[in-house]
Structure formats: C-alpha cells, structure tokens
Amino acid sequence: MQPIILYQISSSHFVDKVRWTLEYKRLPYTTVAFNVLGNTPGLERAPSNMQKLVPIIEDPNNNNKFISDSTQILIYLDEHYSDATNQLFPIALKQQLINYCIRLDSSLGLYARRLGYLQLLNENPTILNVIIEERSDDGWKSYFKGIAKCCIIIARLRIHRIKEDQIYEKTENLLTELTEDVRGKEYLFSNQFTAADLTLCALVRLLVGVPYFYTNPKYQILFQYHDRMRKKHDPHRQASLAERLLAENRRKPPPSKFKLFLQRINIVKFIFYYFMTKIVNWVYSGDNEQRYQFEQNSSNSRAINDQQIVDTPTTCLGAIGFFIKYYCHLLFTIPQQIRSLDQKITSRTM
C-alpha cells in the first residue's frame, strides 16, 4: 500500500483527528505542510472546487482521490480501510455517529480554536509564526511575520470579539453537556471506541491549554476521560509544536514579587493602557458584523466553519490601516478578553 498524503497544519486539532485515525488504523502516511499564505505543493492536483482548508488527504491507492473536512475523511478512511478491530463507524450507529461528530466540529471545534488562539496570543504571540510555518525561530524576521499572522488570525477568527460572541458561555454549556455524556461511561456509544470518542478528545485537547476550563472542577470528568482515551487508543501521540512552545514559555520563571509590585504601581502605564483600550474599543466598535467566508451549509453533511471574510487591502495605505487596526486589538483588546476569563476564575474561587 502506498502512503496516504496528509496536508496539514500540525497544531490543528481538526488535523489531529485525521492523524489519530491514520495511526489507529496503522495506515502508512506522509505529511505536507499547508501554506496558509501561498501555494502548497501537491494541492494544485486537487479539484478546484474543493475547500482548501486542512486536513486534506490524497489517496494514491484510489486514483489520487482528494478529500477535505475531517469528518468526511474519517468516514472515507473507515469505509476503505477497516477491519473488525478498528472500525470507527459501526454500521448500526453510523448515522448517529456522523451527526455527533459534525455537531462537535461545528461547535466545540470552533470554540476551542478561538479560545486556544486567544490564550496563545496573550501568552506569546511571536511563536505563532513558528507554529504555522513549522520552522524554528529565525529572529526579527520571524517576529514580524508572526505579528502579521496574528493580525490575520485575529481578523479571520474574530479573536477580539470572543466575549461579545459569548464563546465562554457557549463553551461552558457544551462542556457541561459533554461531561454528562461521558459520566460513568467507558465510551460515548455502545461500549466501544468510535469516531465520536476520537473526535471529542481531539477537539477538547486545545482546552487543556486554557486554564479557565482545564482547572474547572466541573469538567474534570471530561478531561480525565480525555486522558484515558489518549492513553489507551493514542499512546504514541507526540505533543504538537504549539503545545511544546507554550509549555516552554510557561516554564520561564515568573517575574519577581518586586517586579510585579513595580508593575502594579506603575500608574502611567496603567492610565495609558486604560485609555488606549477605551479608544481602541471606540474607534473599532463598528466591526461587529459577522461575514462568513464559507457557505453555512444546511445539509448537515458537512461541518459549519466560522472563518470570516477578510477584505485583503489592495493599497499600501489599506495594508497599513489593516495592520494598525489588528495590532491595536492584539495590544489592547486581547488582554482585555483574557482579563474577563481571569475575573471569572477569581469569582469562581471566592
């Protein structure tokens, strides 16, 4: 059998679903890094009407067939490469499992992605370039490219509007429901590992990096179930580049108490940030409209996606305006979004 080609951004949790499936089924595969801002070698062979979002697979064993959308890929792999020991969509449950996976892709997958990016942008925006390009840091160039990508990601995924879009509340409600789904059970459906378990664990993984959810005692059963599934059914998984870089960043010693004290009494900085946050909110308050890039489908056979249309600036002035706007959001709105999560943690512990 020839290796299946997986087009990927290695830190994507939708890609992780497919990587896990390929490994669970012990299928040979190779990976190609997806180029977000340009052409990806190999994808010129793909049908022009195919959605160019990863994961995408190309199967050289089946006339180089291309498939996109993680759940559709899982269905394809299960239909073509299953034996009695590794079926992910058992016939009797197939439609129920497909619906469950697509619902998770359209909700948990999207919420966790926005919250994961918010956490990353707040902790260390400069590692974003390394994560997306999958190359190690090359100094200032990487720093500026990282900042440019932060601006594009903020715009495409509305990271600066997480609070306004009530993503915390939607995630909390969903996690409460999912915790009930797994409570007291080994697996979600019929005492066997299925695509639903794999999808839930792959998508909830990003929230392990978001302390507000991961440390919340209400969801411990869900995160313990995640750990159990990984240990049993994905024992060789290696931490993604994003996870490794974030962990490294968190290992850095925290600022000394004296430095923290100085930061707190730095009234000039406080006033500057306070007023700039207000000004940025006021100046850019008009972009509350949501404009989806991908058709919101009603057929229920494909997941919904929440990427926004970003009007690419056509003039130099337009480009400068775009980057100033989202750089301001990075500096002033993102910390404000994280502060509202911190306040929720504080009110939880009181």
Name which position in 16, 78, 105, 172 contacts ligand GSH (CB under 6 A).
105
Decide if residue 112 touches ligand GSH (CB under 6 A). Answer: no
What span, in angstroms and rounded, lies between the C-alpha atoms of 19 and 37? Answer: 23
Q: Which residues pair with 30 in a beta bridge?
A: 5
- Exposure b/e, 243-270, CB count within 10 A at least 16 = b: bebbeeeeeeeeeeeeeeeeeeeeeeee
Evaluate whether 328 touches 284 at the Cβ level (below 8 Å): yes
Within the chain, how many helices (H) and strands (E) appear? Answer: 15, 4
> For ligand GSH, how many residues bind (rule: CB under 6 A)?
14
Query: Closest separation between CB of residue 309 and ligand GSH, Å?
Result: 12
Name which position in 4, 55, 194, 333 contacts ligand GSH (CB under 6 A).
55
Sign of CA dihedral 317, 319, 322, 327: negative
What span, in angstroms and rounded, lies between the C-alpha atoms of 164 and 338? Answer: 13
The region of 42-50, 121-129, 197-205, 300-308 touching ligand GSH under the rule CB under 6 A is: 300-308
Decide if residue 129 touches ligand GSH (CB under 6 A). Answer: no
Evaluate whether 129 touches 241 at the Cβ level (below 8 Å): no
Sign of CA dihedral 236, 242, 248, 252: negative
Interface pattern 130-169 for ligand GSH (x via CB under 6 A) = ----------------------------------------
Decide if residue 46 touches ligand GSH (CB under 6 A). Answer: no
Name which position in 70, 107, 129, 142 contacts ligand GSH (CB under 6 A).
70
Interface pattern 260-299 for ligand GSH (x via CB under 6 A) = ----------------------------------------
The region of 48-56, 57-65, 260-268, 338-346 touching ligand GSH under the rule CB under 6 A is: 48-56
- Helix axis angle for 220-233 and 195-204, nearest 10°, is 120
Nearer residue to ligand GSH within complex by CB, 322 or 332 = 322
Half-sphere exposure of 327 (CA within 13 A, CB side): 12
Nearer residue to ligand GSH within complex by CB, 94 or 302 = 302
Residues whose CB is less than 8 angstroms from the CB of residue 25 and which lie 6 or more positions away in sequence, other chains included: 77, 81, 82, 86
The region of 42-50, 51-59, 324-332, 338-346 touching ligand GSH under the rule CB under 6 A is: 51-59
Geometric angle at alpha carbon 165, from 162 and 171, rounded to 5°: 75
Nearer residue to ligand GSH within complex by CB, 6 or 54 = 54
What span, in angstroms and rounded, lies between the C-alpha atoms of 42 and 53? Answer: 14
Decide if residue 194 touches ligand GSH (CB under 6 A). Answer: no
Residues 1-20 that bind ligand GSH (CB under 6 A): 9, 12, 14
Name which position in 16, 58, 59, 69 contacts ligand GSH (CB under 6 A).
69
Q: Which residues bind ligand GSH (CB under 6 A)?
A: 9, 12, 14, 36, 53-55, 69-70, 105, 113, 303, 305, 307
